[in-house]
Structures are given as C-alpha cells and as structure tokens.
C-alpha cells in the first residue's frame, strides 16, 4: 500500500523509488488496521527496534510521514545529514526542546503525520523501554491526536542491537516478515504516557501473533534444525556415564522410534516418565514426530494425583526406563508400559538408526520432516500436555499448542539472557513447564548445547557438570540453587554467565550470597505452566555502544523483569476485575501467543481464570513506568480477617527476620488461612523450628510493629514444611496440615 519513505515533497523521485524497491525486496510487510490513520495532522508514536523502523513504518502507512530524529546523528555523520535533509526529518535536541516543539507544531499545522520514537533511542533489549513524555506536550499544543503503532519482526535483523552489536552480524538471507499494527487515535486531551504505553504493548501483542513461525510444526522445526548441522554437538548426557549426542544421532533415534510409535499406538497421547536427559528429549521428539502428544507425568506426585492425570489424559501407552520403576514404586504404571532401552533394541538397535543418520548427513534438511510424514502446520494443535503442580489444589491439565511453545521459544531468543553459543544446564524435571520448554525444546531449536543431570537435588553432580562442561547458563528454583551456593567453590562456577531464578520468590540473602561469593547476579523471572511457561524475566543490562546512547536497564532488583516480547498485561482490581491505573497493585492478567487456551476438559476452571480474554494469574503485582513487574504476593496467600486483607508472605518474612531463621534446608515456616466463624478467617502458623511458639511469635511480631490482626494465634510444630518436587511450596499439603490443626479437616 502507500508509499514512499521519501515523499515527493521531501525527496526527488530518483532517490525515493529505489529506497522503496529495496525495502520491498528486504521486508515482507503485513499491515493491520491502516484505516485508523487519520486524514489530518497527528503524532505517531512507535516502538523502536532498529535503524530501518522508519522505512518499514512508511511502507505500512497510507500517507507520507515526517520523522523526528536525534540531532546528535547530524553532528556526527555526513550520511545522516544527507538522509535528514532528503527525508525532511526534524532534528530533535534535548538542549533545545522549544525549537523542536515549534518545528513539530508547524508540521502538524500543515496536517502532516509526525512520527516520534518516544523511547528516545533504539531498544537494546528488544523490549519496550520507558516512554519520554514530550509527545504529550506536542499533541496538546497542536490539538492533534496521538496514534500508537507497533511493529514486530525487526529485532534480530542487521540493523537492530540484537547480540549486543549493530551491523556486525550475519545478514538474513530471506525476506524479513514484519507486521505493523496501527492503534486507534487517542484524542489530545486524553493522551498520557501510561495509556500510550499500554496501547503499544497491546499492538505489539497483535503484531507478534502474526509471525509466520508460530504457525509451524514444532517437531518439523526441530528436525530441520538438527539436519542443518548434523555434526553439531547438541547434548551431553551425564545420567550415568558421560555421553555426547550429535545432531544426526539425536535425529536418527527420534525418527526410528517415531515410526514405531506411529504404527503401534492408536491413542492421541503417549505418556513419558523419564528424568532430564537424552532419553526424555528423544522420546518427546519421537512422540511429536509420530503425530502424537507427549504427556510427561510427575513421578514425585502422590498416587491419587497421578491416577487423576492418567485418567484425564487418556494415556494407555507409557514409555519409561526400568530404573525409574524402582525410584517411583508407588506410581500407578499402566498395563502397556514400555522400557525405552528394550524398545530401541526391538527396533534393531544401531542398525535401525543407520539409515536415518545417513539421511541427516546426505539430504537437505528441509526434506527430513517429509520423510517422517510431518505436517507443515502445527499452529493451534496440541503439542504437549502438562499438569499443574497441584500446589493449591488437584492437578489441572494444561494443553500447550505448537504456537504456545514456539512463541515462548522465540520470545526467549529475542533476549540476551540465552546467547546462541550458550551451554545450558538441564536438570529441571521434564514434567515441569520450564524443564519442558526452556531446558528441552528451546536448545533444540537454537544453536545451544545442553548438559543434562537427572535431578536438581543432586548437588554434587550439578557442580561437577558445571565445572567439567564449562556450563554458561543455569536456571532453577532457589530451593535447588541454595545447596549449590553452599557447596560450590568460586572456581566451580567460573564459567557461569547467566543465573536465572524462578518458580518461587528469590530470597535476598541468596542473591547477595551469589553476588559476593561468585560475582554472579541472579536474574529473577516469573511464569506459570499456562504461559508455556515464561511471562517475565530480568536480563543483563545491554552494553552502551557509545557515550551518547546512554544506559538502558535490562534488570531491576526486586522485580521479575519486563514482559516477554509479544505479551501484554493488565492489572485488575481483585474483586471487581476493573482495570487499575498504571503503577497500582492488583491482580496481574496476561495476553499473548504463549498463553494456553484453557484447561483440559474443564470449562468451569477455564472460565475462572479467563476474564474478557485475559488470563488472570491470581498473583498481585504492579508495573513501574519502565515496564518492570513487581509481584507482591499470591491472592490465595492473603486472608480476609475482619474485613482487612492480611498478606501471609509479609508475616512470614517478618518472622524469619525476627527469629533469624535460615532457608538453607527448605522453608522454615509458613502461614496459612483457615475458616473462622467469627472473623471469616484465622491464621495458622506451621513451623519446623522448636524456637517458634505462640508466645514468642506474639512477642516478636508485636515488637516489629506488626498489627495484632496479623499475628497467628495458633502455631503448629511440624517436622518439615511440605514442598513439591519442583521446589515450590506445597500449598495444598500446608492447607491440609493447617485445617487438621484447627480441627476442620
């Protein structure tokens, strides 16, 4: 549609048309809602991901655009002086803001469209930065609307700052697919930074949804990646003896097994009970390649929870290893339970793999998915079924689609937190959403390498693996990281570059400990199974390429980071579900391509967590003006006593500090709410310490200035606070203990 990067009013045709032609050769631009662009003067506010944003936005706009750019470039470069002059770009200088406003106002007075990158500079994190507020003054002064517009697809291109550098990276060989989404004009009198930022996030979510990669088949994408470089070392398995797996061998094992499963399994889903390692990864890929859905079961869950999961999933065939049966004696094994090693031998062992190895080396990688009969399109079809941990109730089935998983993997690839040459420790269980997507699928889709250790509790093996394999990325729950912190020496972790904490709140003492002992900063993230799993994550601060560029924060201590690319969020009132103003605390709700569509065969529970298309997390949080999310607590971890909301986490932290308790061996205590006929609820404190008694609790909390209403009257001594296999607090187990103590079970 329209036209010119340099309109005829701004540049001669012999410059304008070659630029347009070049743009169309390099970029396949898809446009949404261009009819929203008004006929008169307006300010366009866009995200800023690369030096070619202006070209792409003009290609997507039905009218010529007047651009606003830094005067600094004019002073430093003859090339930019020429570009500014030919395109009619308005130079902006922080030292002469009035002149900038005057020039913009003149252009708006001529009914022109003026584009402003309100972030003030190209994003060096791939995420939306803090918006500068100058555009508000300009809009009000000129009396024109602000039109938000977001584009997606340019991050990672030659002209973006992906990989912490401009230009000095391999150019894309294919046309870059870009989507530009136009928003509704916002009247001048209603313009404010929070409203425009929210609109840009919403539009960015729309644009991200249009990525053609999200429609593809997850198995097909992985098979093509494995076939691209068959010699690449994709995994080091340290389950027993150290074993290296090259891409060709990995593909061959998955391909051979997939053909067998396609012939012998009639049901749509196949169960898997295996620890993190080559076996689990190969079987999951084989199941997908067979056109089936892998279901990784939590072998640490109770028998009733597993039986419920088996029944809901309809799994009749389960693949495991004989060694797992001895480790999970209470597991209700289905009648058709296959041993992986025996099954591979039945297929013919190495002889059966040889043709597939040859195919990986000889054939073009694009043909390999066809050999397996894989559909090109996966999109919204189910690609994995996980079950929630049951931390606050019975497990719920969470079907994740090809789109969900591919979206979360692409979201991670836009961040600097997992560089392409990463060597990632994989020890999280595959039935955990982070182990499933980030530790297993993501490295197979990217040129990363994983080193597997079968259990996050095997601290000795983890430390040995980090030291001997030169691991650069480690991800885990604080519960699993604390033993590593205590037992490892600085030399053991010297190769670690990125340390990510998730699944539970990051304790500040652990953060400080890693920083002091290993000079490592823990990056706190946030997610849930329903988000495939990551929603937010802190990342290292990007480098400053030159002094005038200024710093851009990639992380903020105490927060769980910014939203993943392509996601948007709302903060809702806990009771009315009305949207709250920017900066206020409420229930966090998300939308994005990585969000699931609903629980397995449970319309009632699905309706409980969705509100007008938004997934409502149940977590209380707030966003600051830079876009960092701060989680204040879980809505279910508040008690309403005599009409007042009492935060369990705050009371717990006060007690831990007052008693000087350590969290080295799990949770020392937990506060739970149980029904009370008089006040609605009462607090019950479960404690694993003899020092914590009802009298001492009252004394300590009163001395700390805690309101009387917040002081637990009932203290119950327990041997150990219940914890799930994923490291999270077992809220259901704690609730049962609290109810029993109150005589209400």
The torsion angle over the Cα atoms of residues 138, 140, 145 and 150, rounded to 10 degrees, is 40
DSSP line for 606-639: HHHHEETTEEEEEEEEEE-TT--EEEEEEGGGEE
DSSP line for 646-681: EEHHHHHHHHHHHHT---TTS-SEEEEEEEETTTEE
Give the domain ranges of the chain: 13-210, 218-618, 642-741
Separation of alpha carbons 452 and 644, rounded Å: 47
pLDDT score recorded for residue 8: 38
Burial classification of residue 408, based on how many CB atoms lie within 10 Å of its CB (0-12 exposed, 13-18 middle, 19 or more buried): buried
- Sequence-distant contacts of 15-18: CB under 8 A, at least 24 apart: 15/86
pLDDT score recorded for residue 72: 64
Higher pLDDT, 550 or 304: 304
pLDDT score recorded for residue 41: 92
Beta carbons of 647 and 637 less than 8 angstroms apart: yes
- Tell me the pLDDT tens digit for each residue of 466-480: 999 999 999 988 888
Please check the confidence at residue 166 and state whether its pLDDT lies above 70: no
Please check the confidence at residue 94 and state whether its pLDDT lies above 90: no
- Tell me the pLDDT tens digit for each residue of 675-688: 877 667 888 888 88
Instruction: Read off the pLDDT band of 7 (50, 70, 90).
Output: very low
The residue among 590, 591, 581 whose CA lies nearest residue 192 is 581
Higher pLDDT, 284 or 656: 284
Question: Under the phi-then-psi rule, with left for phi > 0, alpha for psi from -120 to 50, and beta for the rest, what region is 373?
Answer: left
- Tell me the pLDDT tens digit for each residue of 378-387: 999 999 999 9
> What is the percent of the chain where pLDDT is above 70?
89
| Mean pLDDT confidence for 99-112 | 84
SS3 category, 283? helix
Please check the confidence at residue 42 and state whether its pLDDT lies above 60: yes
Please check the confidence at residue 12 and state whether its pLDDT lies above 60: no
Please check the confidence at residue 402 and state whether its pLDDT lies above 80: yes
Please check the confidence at residue 455 and state whether its pLDDT lies above 80: yes
Instruction: Read off the pLDDT band of 232 (50, 70, 90).
Output: very high
Domain 218-618 superfamily per CATH? ANL, N-terminal domain (3.40.50.12780)
Residues 6+ apart with CB under 8 A from 197: 128, 131, 582, 625, 627
Q: At what angle do helices 278-289 and 247-264 cross, to 10 degrees?
A: 50
Q: Residue 687 is inside which H or E element, if any? A: strand 680-687
Instruction: State the Rg of the chain over Cα.
Output: 28
Instruction: Read off the pLDDT band of 745 (50, 70, 90).
Output: very low
Domain 642-741 has CATH 3.40.50.10420: no
- Average model confidence (pLDDT) for the chain? 87
pTM of the model: 0.87
Please check the confidence at residue 567 and state whether its pLDDT lies above 80: yes
- Tell me the pLDDT tens digit for each residue of 315-324: 999 999 988 8
HSE-up of residue 21 (Cα within 13 Å, Cβ side): 6
- Tell me the pLDDT tens digit for each residue of 353-388: 999 999 999 999 999 999 999 999 999 999 999 998
């Amino acid at each position: 549609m329209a036209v010119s990067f340099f309109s005829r009013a701004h540049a001669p045709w012999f410059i304008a048309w070659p630029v347009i032609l070049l743009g169309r050769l390099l970029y396949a631009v898809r446009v949404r809602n261009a009819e929203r662009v008004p006929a008169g003067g307006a300010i366009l506010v866009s995200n800023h991901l690369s030096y070619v944003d202006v070209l792409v936005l003009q290609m997507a706009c039905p009218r010529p655009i007047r651009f606003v750019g830094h005067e600094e470039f004019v002073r430093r470069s003859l090339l930019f002086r020429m570009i500014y002059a030919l395109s009619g770009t308005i130079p902006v200088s922080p030292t002469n803001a009035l002149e900038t406003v005057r020039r913009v106002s003149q252009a708006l007075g001529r009914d022109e469209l003026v584009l402003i990158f309100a972030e003030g500079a190209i994003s060096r994190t791939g995420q939306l930065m803090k918006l500068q507020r100058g555009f508000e003054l300009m809009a009000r002064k000129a009396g024109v609307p602000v039109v938000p517009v977001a584009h997606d697809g340019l991050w990672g291109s030659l002209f973006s700052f992906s990989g912490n550098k401009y230009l000095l990276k391999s150019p894309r060989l294919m046309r870059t697919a870009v989507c530009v989404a136009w928003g509704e004009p916002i009247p001048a009198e209603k313009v404010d930074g929070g409203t425009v930022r929210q609109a840009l996030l919403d539009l960015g979510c729309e644009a991200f949804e249009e990525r053609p990669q999200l429609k593809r088949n997850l198995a097909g994408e992985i098979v093509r990646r494995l076939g691209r470089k068959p010699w690449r070392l994709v995994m080091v398995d340290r389950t027993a003896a150290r074993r290296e797996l090259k891409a060709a061998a990995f593909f061959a094992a998955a391909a051979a097994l997939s053909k067998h499963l396609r012939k012998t399994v009639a049901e749509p889903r196949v169960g898997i009970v295996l620890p993190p390692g080559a076996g689990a990864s190969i079987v999951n890929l084989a199941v997908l390649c067979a056109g089936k859905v892998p279901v990784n079961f939590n072998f640490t869950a109770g028998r009733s929870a597993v039986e419920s999961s088996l029944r809901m999933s309809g799994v009749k065939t389960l693949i495991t290893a004989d060694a797992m049966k001895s480790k999970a004696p209470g597991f209700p094994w289905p009648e058709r339970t296959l041993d992986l090693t025996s099954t591979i031998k039945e297929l013919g062992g190495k002889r059966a793999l040889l043709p597939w190895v040859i195919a990986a080396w000889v054939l073009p990688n694009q043909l390999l998915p066809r050999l397996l009969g894989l559909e090109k399109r996966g999109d919204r079809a189910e690609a994995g079924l996980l079950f929630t941990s049951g931390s606050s109730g019975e497990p719920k089935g969470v079907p994740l689609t090809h789109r969900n998983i591919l979206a979360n993997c692409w979201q991670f690839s836009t961040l600097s937190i997992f560089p392409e040459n990463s060597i990632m420790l994989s020890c999280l269980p595959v039935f955990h959403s982070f182990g499933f997507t980030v530790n297993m699928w993501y490295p197979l889709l990217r040129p990363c390498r994983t080193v597997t250790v079968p259990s996050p509790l095997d601290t000795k093996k983890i430390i040995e693996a980090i030291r001997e394999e030169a691991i650069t990325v480690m991800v885990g729950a604080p519960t699993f990281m604390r033993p590593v912190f205590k037992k490892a020496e600085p030399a053991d972790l010297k190769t670690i570059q990125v340390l990510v904490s998730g699944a539970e709140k990051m304790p500040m003492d652990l953060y400080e400990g890693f920083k002091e002992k290993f000079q490592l900063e823990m990056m706190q993230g946030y997610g849930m199974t329903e988000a495939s799993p990551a929603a937010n994550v802190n990342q290292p601060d990007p480098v400053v390429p030159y002094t005038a560029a200024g710093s851009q924060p990639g992380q903020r201590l105490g927060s769980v980071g910014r939203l993943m690319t392509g996601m948007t969020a709302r903060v809702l009132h806990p009771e009315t579900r009305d949207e709250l103003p920017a900066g206020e605390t409420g229930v966090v709700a998300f939308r994005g391509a990585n969000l699931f569509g609903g629980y397995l065969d449970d319309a009632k529970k699905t309706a409980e967590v969705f509100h007008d298309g938004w997934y409502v997390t149940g977590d209380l949080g707030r966003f600051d003006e830079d876009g960092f999310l701060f989680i204040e607590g879980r809505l279910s971890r508040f008690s309403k006593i005599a009409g007042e909301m009492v935060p369990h986490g705050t009371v717990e932290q006060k007690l831990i500090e007052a008693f000087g308790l350590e969290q080295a061996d799990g949770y020392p205590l937990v506060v739970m709410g149980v029904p009370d006929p008089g006040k609605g609820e009462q607090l019950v404190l479960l404690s694993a310490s003899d020092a914590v008694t009802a009298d001492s609790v009252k004394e300590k909390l009163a001395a700390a200035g805690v309101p009387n209403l917040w002081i637990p009257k009932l203290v119950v001594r327990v041997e150990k606070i219940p914890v799930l296999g994923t490291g999270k607090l077992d809220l259901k187990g704690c609730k049962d203990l609290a109810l029993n103590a109150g005589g209400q079970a």
